[in-house]
Chain A
């Protein structure tokens, strides 16, 4: 409960810092960066497995934040969600622009990134770590293991359907079905828990 309160108070501070950043307050922007950049960097590293690219992407993300801070609307999402959205969109665009995907990276580069992003989280890690976010955790638990794994791997690793099929050693159509049905079930559960749609 206390950690939830702390999360709420942290989000309120972040929202205020974002508001000040929108007015060109450099000190507020530097605090916003200090409080959020390591989380965004971790998210990028899991998606790309390639630290040098993440360094460039992170720079781009925060340049975007500085320029677009005025577009942030606290009534629509908290600051972390807004930052995650920018971070994921930019990183997924980069991932998809690599025609051969991760095959382009040397094993040394991938190992370096995996060392930085300690360990590979599993769906079970996720369920534990977002226990504060009761709605998503509860709904995630209701999926079958294949759906859970497919959705988690797509979100965290940025896998396409084909990459998922390869990773999970299953047919493409089967994997697509897990994702599609899993998402449908998640939506229905999240709406039932009060998530407006």
Chain B
């Protein structure tokens, strides 16, 4: 086994993380990291310290088929991908409809039958969901620490709206028409304080959606513009 002093150990770790080493050296390093805990700790340190450099790199939208391939590999028996296609099919119907019947059809269709459907919340009521577009790109992170806290919606990556448009967040309770949770800022965070009747409905397994509406929100009380993002609530 090769004996390394601290200085050499640190220099090797730094260049391993940086990526300057050849294939051969990287292979040797991997063997050394397995044998030398101090070297492994230095590699970990450098990874942690240099990781913020990734913030300089713009995220790039991931082609949707990659997620489908992952699903097929890990859950070949599952039909989620088909169901998701079905959701968006229904959402497209909803987009052009203002009728309650269409909204109800959506609410019934939007819950994937293959997913477990918890019926109770955790003791503290913490929930989270990521609203994604049709191609599984994340747009909003919505979370609540406990059932006595407000909902916080954090914009991740969104299409720019015109001055005549606004994003509106909807809860999709089963067997009911969509309920508005409020308008969302198109950058930064929005704090939403749903009334207690709505707050009680925020259960894991239920879905939310974001539609594009006039600046003051939907004039009808149900979504009137295109539905761009959906997601299901997860217990936090």
- Using a CB–CB distance below 8 Å, which chain A residues touch chain B? 2-3, 6, 9-10, 13, 16-17, 20, 25-28, 30-31, 33-35, 37-39, 41-43, 45-47, 55, 58-59, 62-63, 66, 76-77, 80-81, 84-85, 88, 92-93, 95-97, 116-119, 121, 125-126, 129-130, 132-133, 135-137, 151-152, 154-156, 158-161, 164, 179-180, 183-184, 186-187, 190, 195-197
Question: Given A13-B143, A156-B57, list of 9 further CB < 8 A pairs?
Answer: A13-B236, A17-B128, A27-B234, A34-B130, A35-B130, A42-B58, A59-B70, A77-B47, A92-B26
Q: How many residues of B contact A (CB 8 A)?
A: 59
- B44 and A76 contacting across the interface, CB-CB below 8 Å: yes
Complex alpha-carbon distance, A35 and B67, angstroms = 13
B43-84 contacts to A (CB < 8 Å):
44-45, 47-63, 66-67, 69-70, 73-75
Q: Return the contact of B18 from the options A38, A96, A155, A184 (Cβ within 8 A).
A: A155
Interface segment, B89-97, B151-159, B193-201? B151-159
Q: Which one of A16, A38, A136, A179 lies within 8 Å of B138 (CB-CB)?
A: A38
Chain B residues near A133 (CB, 8 Å)?
52, 55
Q: Is the CB of A187 within 8 A of B14?
A: yes
Interface of A is mostly: helix
- Is A130 in contact with B53, judged by CB distance below 8 angstroms? yes
Return chain B residues, CB-CB under 8 Å to A184.
11
Chain A nearest CB, measured from B110 CB (Å) = 14
A34–B63 CB distance below 8 A:
no
A84 contacts across to B, CB distance below 8 A = 47, 51, 54
Which B residues lie within 8 Å of A63 (CB)?
A: 70, 73-74
